[in-house]
Amino acid sequence: MVAVCDVVEAAAARAVAPFGARVYLSAYEMLQRERLDALYICLPPDAHVDQELMAAARGIHLFVEKPLPLDLAKAETIARAVQAAGIVTAVGYHWRYFSHTQVLRAALTGERVGLVLGYFLSRLPEKAWWRLKARSGGQVVEQAIHLFDLARYLLGEVEEVWAAYARRGYPDEPGFDHEDVYTVNLRFAGGALASYAVSCLLHRRYLVGLDILCQHRVYRLREQGLEIDEPAGVRSIPLENDPALAENAAFLHAIRTGDRSGILSDYADALQTQRLVMAANRAAETQQPVRVGR
């Protein structure tokens, strides 16, 4: 690590302390002065301006934290730029890298999935930017997006989305302006259906994961492991790796060797997940089903 940029100088200083790296308060200055091989972009959704475009123009490989920009036109411009530059890209959907996610993906190869139940039932985050919908996109976009992305990874593309959102709590919460309960329903191109329950009403992280229902079998995927509930009983498959380490190792390996096969979500793929969650927001606003484009 040679440089860190943050608009809060103290935060940048803390980040560089173990590495003796340089501190910048401007991404433009950092990209002009430094000769970087790779750049990690870890920004709130509304803060993507042209950092990715500047990096792509310089041939700098990119790891981008989810979600992508709320402005889909900007995200599509970035996708075209990174493709034209030929750089390595990765997006931080670490649920794909769980060891038990890979077990589940292999198991689903021979299954006919009927219904997916998704849950992201948790508490209200403290970050001020998260609490403003214009900045975060709301809980479906900023948090539950992991589980929408995971369903795409396991089942394929979504054709249509329906959604209803509501504000049922926090009447006097300062600086909070979006909904706190969400329901989202999906139809996959392969015919399976999904229903998501999302909320930040609770006092703690209550339930986060996917249940995948097939004939005579239910797969329950959580952060800590996978349960397979079938006629012979319930099998438990625990998490056996560090998914954050795995996604970073795959990114760096691709830069060193040119082998991108270990990257499970590149920018182009992550753009389709962004289209999905933004379609959910639009469906809730219009109270109409929305087709998910490409």
What's the pLDDT tens digit per position in 58-67? 999 999 999 9
10 Å CB burial of residue 216 (0-12, 13-18, 19+) is exposed
User: 87 is written with which tokens?
Assistant: 């750089």
Residue carrying structure tokens 């096969």: 261
**β-pair type (89-91, 61-64):** parallel
Rounded average pLDDT over 196-215: 98
Q: Residue 294 has what pLDDT?
A: 75
Q: Is the pLDDT of residue 44 over 80?
A: yes
Domain boundaries, the chain: 3-93+246-263, 95-240+272-291
pLDDT class of 54 with cuts at 50, 70, 90: very high
What's the pLDDT tens digit per position in 158-180? 999 999 999 999 988 999 999 99
The second-level CATH assignment, the architecture, of 95-240+272-291 is 2-Layer Sandwich (3.30)
Residue 145 in contact with residue 170, Cβ under 8 Å? no
What's the pLDDT tens digit per position in 11-27? 999 999 999 999 999 99
Best CATH choice for the domain 3-93+246-263 from the list 1.20.1250.20, 3.40.50.720, 3.40.1190.20, 3.30.465.10: 3.40.50.720
Q: Residue 19 has what pLDDT?
A: 93
pTM of the model: 0.96
Q: What are the distances in angstroms from CA 193 to CA 114, 160, 169, 188, 247?
A: 6, 10, 29, 6, 29
